Amino acid sequence: MIILPAIDIIDGNVVRLLRGDYDKMTVYGNSPIERAKAFYAEGAKDLHVVDLDGAKDGSARNYGVIEDIAKFGGLSIEVGGGIRDRETVENYINAGVSRVILGTAAIENPDFAAEMISAFKEKIAVGVDIKDGFAATKGWTELSDKSCLDLCLEFQSMGAETVICTDISKDGAQSGTNLELYRELQKTLNMNIIASGGVTTLADIKALSEIGVWGAIVGKALYTGSIKLSEAIAEGGGSDC
């Protein structure tokens, strides 16, 4: 199982939100590239980056910052947040990003999602973030009428190979991850499943690995010191992306 340390960006700063609430933000530095380099020095091979400004307003406001991270090299990077058109997808891929995550755009415009999956294959991942049982969009500020599993099955039928599923109620709360959700997805889907939200201890990582999910995103626990990245990678098995 791969371990993806997370860098969330607002106004060029490294931040963490509590349960996706933009009013409950903690700033952990003003240089995402330096944070990426620090993760690399600790043994990271993979990285999860989100433009939270973009996720909320549909822009690519932090593109330049993320491009710098991609140019650093040595890390397989997946990027999400505000990616709503083909030009942005192509810009990120041309910058060296390994996977572009479609969230709001994929949910609100399935035809666009299918087109991007067909065109860019494994370089497209879909992000399904759930709140109160339904998928959330626009930086987790709105709810759709579709469930997590229904959406995942829809994207799987389009040919999507990777899904990042976040339980928003767990995100940033350091209360443990939603193992029941990932067991259901792993049992039902034939996709690479990346778990996100609430990964707080090495026990969480061990449990996710035993379920068989492909990857786990670790965010706040790394910033607070609850988990050491090198230990998380070792517990996950240290597999390459």
Active site residues: 8, 129
Query: How many helices and strands in the chain, by DSSP H and E?
Result: 11, 12
**Which helix H or strand E contains 104, and what residues bound it?**
helix 104-108
Q: Which residue has tokens 């530095």?
A: 29
- Alpha carbon 213 to its chain's center: 14
Q: Which residue has tokens 């988990």?
A: 227
Q: How far apart are the first and last CA of the chain?
A: 9
SS3 breakdown of the chain: % helix, strand, coil, rounded to 5? 40, 30, 30
Decide if 126 contacts 155 (C-beta within 8 A). Answer: yes
Decide if 200 contacts 180 (C-beta within 8 A). Answer: no
Q: DSSP letter at 201?
A: S
Phi, psi of 58 (to 5 degrees): 80, 15
